[in-house]
Structure 1
Amino acid sequence: MSGLATPPPPGGKTQTSPPRPPVVAAFDALPEHVRASIRAKQAAKKAKKAKKAKQPRATSPKTNADKSKDAPALPPGQRRSVTAAEYMRAAPHRFKDRQIPPALSSVPLLVNAALSPDSGIEKCGYFQFYGSEAELWEPAFFAFLAHSGFFVITDHKGEPLPELQPFYGVLTEATFEGSRFNRACLAKLGREGGCPYKLVDSAADADRCWRALEDYHVEKHECNWLTRKYLAAMEKASEKRGVNYRLHIVEMQDGDGKVVAAEFGFSCGSVYTSLSGWCERTGDRLGEVQLVLLGRWLFKSGYAFWSLGHCYVPEMQYKQNLGQVIYERAAFLELLEKHSGKFVGGGMERKLGGEVQGRDLLAAGGR
């Protein structure tokens, strides 16, 4: 507040408060035994505060249902959380071999080898291919990587960098509806006038949507890994007849029709996967609202599960709040195979599309 003068009242004259006696003088005027008592209380309060600061901060069960002491045990291959250090240690290496071309036949070979404990590449996370730019971005190959469980980003050169994650964040309808965080968010939207927001799948207007994503991430992170070339591969793969891959761009509009948040993702069969997104920073937690409404829309539309991608906490605590369960690589790929459908000729129904009013998503779960 330094440098700012207090404006005068309506009368035009600045009012001044009467001088107050110095606090130190008032304290010194107290009897010695009273001053000693005050000092002791202050010291005890300071020591208690310092001790509390050293203790690890626990996540409140009101925002994270998975931290409940009463949470049931998970099956083998699943866990409730993973740290970034654990994630990186699980698959610290990168695989790149000139003898492995960017072809459909290469993908199951690498997946099977990555699942074998004695293959020598089971500790690899990223798998790069040698080939021309056209081969690396070939739409069917690009889509088959995603259908097979690879989370594809881009490297510093803008080339595709497929990752077979050691851990995946998975959200089912049961875990989504079991999250206190989600229920509280939906209840708050209901109290605030029935939710003015609307979700729209705007994949048909992908270029406009991508420019908003690009501007947001360049300003915030100085780069956007979901490049224009990446989007083009998604569009072409989604348009390929008979290929089980669909691009989705879910925008959230406010009551005036303004886009205030967006989510880029894709679906294979009844599995939806998040890639990237953006939201306006207004203090209204629009990103969280958009994700919670999207979760309701996905499960009401019949999706078996929502793959949230990278899942370590506390860096991605919001995914934990949504209700994610962590799947180890083998367990996730088994779940994916069960619900993604055949890559060609089956499971290609487009379950998400059009638009939905937020108020229609506020009712309790269930289709």
Structure 2
Amino acid sequence: MSKDNTIYYLTFENIKDTDILFNDIYSNEDTNYYFCDDFSKDFYIYLARCGFICTSTIYQDKLYLLPEMQFEYALLDFENLHISKKVKKLIKQDDYEFTSNTRFKEVIEKIDEYHEPNWLIGEYKSLLINLHKTYDNNDFKLVSYEIIDKHTKQLIAAEIGYKIYDTYTSLTGFSSKDKKYNNYGKLQLVLLAQELQKEGFSFWNLGHPYMQYKFDLGAVKYSRNDFLKRWLPKVFI
């Protein structure tokens, strides 16, 4: 939540105005969340390129997009990737398939089942499905990464995120709560990091730096200012 408990209404025109973006948003160290009712593809892509990560919220029975200019970010540089012994064991077992964009809609549905409450609903959910179908450019590409049981073809763990040039940002994901699939969520993260490195990506934006698993993976916490120093030269072209 914003430190001053104020959430400002945000428009496409606001963030296209570089004076507002840099002097009123990036430099505002008391506010991180904004809200809007514009679920257009162009606005969402521009928000992502500016460094916002969006969730959603319901207020008075209406769904709003909730773009966040985070106070801090967790970034993974791939040379810092750490693979635990348990994940190394799963890799050796080779009883899984690691895929991308093969079961996007199912991933969306599994995320809905896994998270309660879930912010990926309504117009936001429709927006992402539409983006996945219709938009595939270097400046933005929505993707899913999946771990599938090689024998049963069950979807075990997955996430959705977006590529912007040579950066990747995670949005949300899930992993099976079945005990026999312990650590497969961590496996998905490791395999994704290796895939991104193989594809020549610069870094992985894991969003909020408040979950230990991100640091266990090798991520480092960045202030907003330090994040933007790395982010903007890569994506704000």
TM-score, with length taken from structure 2: 0.85
- The structural deviation recorded for 1:92 is 4.8
Q: CA RMSD in A?
A: 2.4
Correspondence 1:262 to 2:173: no
- The structural deviation recorded for 1:190 is 4.5
- The structural deviation recorded for 1:287 is 1.3
Residue aligned with 2:95, SS: coil
Structure number, greater radius of gyration: 1
Aligned to 1:306: 204
What pairs with 1:1-367 in structure 2 (closer than 5 Å)? 91-97=3-9, 101-103=11-13, 105-106=16-17, 109-116=20-27, 121-129=28-36, 133=37, 136-157=38-59, 158-176=63-81, 179=82, 182-191=83-92, 193=93, 195-202=94-101, 205-217=103-115, 221=116, 223-237=117-131, 239-240=134-135, 244-256=139-151, 257-283=153-179, 284-312=182-210, 316-340=211-235, 342=237
Q: 1:241–1:171: structure 2 CA closer, same or farther, 3 Å change rule?
A: closer
C-alpha contact 1:140 1:237 (8 A) present in aligned 2: no
- The structural deviation recorded for 1:151 is 1.0
Q: 1:190–1:200: structure 2 CA closer, same or farther, 3 Å change rule?
A: closer
Counterparts of 2:137 and 2:187, CA distance in 1 = 34
Residue aligned with 1:288, SS: helix
C-alpha contact 1:107 1:145 (8 A) present in aligned 2: no
C-alpha contact 1:263 1:277 (8 A) present in aligned 2: yes
Q: Going by fraction, where is strand more abundant, 1 or 2?
A: 2
Counterparts of 1:341 and 1:110, CA distance in 2 = 12
Counterparts of 1:112 and 1:243, CA distance in 2 = 28
C-alpha contact 1:172 1:306 (8 A) present in aligned 2: yes
C-alpha contact 1:311 1:326 (8 A) present in aligned 2: yes
- The structural deviation recorded for 1:241 is 6.9
Aligned to 1:23: none
- The structural deviation recorded for 1:113 is 2.2
TM-score, with length taken from structure 1: 0.57
Q: How many residues were matched structurally? A: 229
- The structural deviation recorded for 1:322 is 0.5
Gaps of 5+ in 1: 1-87, 343-367
Counterparts of 1:272 and 1:199, CA distance in 2 = 17
> Deviation digits for residues 94-144 of structure 1, max 9, x if unmatched?
3425xx53335247623432343xxxx331111224xxx4xx101111111
- The structural deviation recorded for 1:240 is 3.9
C-alpha contact 1:142 1:237 (8 A) present in aligned 2: no
Counterparts of 2:158 and 2:50, CA distance in 1 = 25
> Deviation digits for residues 259-315 of structure 1, max 9, x if unmatched?
111101111111111111111112322211211121111111211111111112xxx
Residue aligned with 1:333, SS: helix
Q: 1:230–1:334: structure 2 CA closer, same or farther, 3 Å change rule?
A: same
Letter in 2 for 1:126: Y
Residue aligned with 2:6, SS: strand
Identical counterparts, % of pairs: 28
> Deviation digits for residues 174-208 of structure 1, max 9, x if unmatched?
111xx2xx1524432345x3x222121126x5333
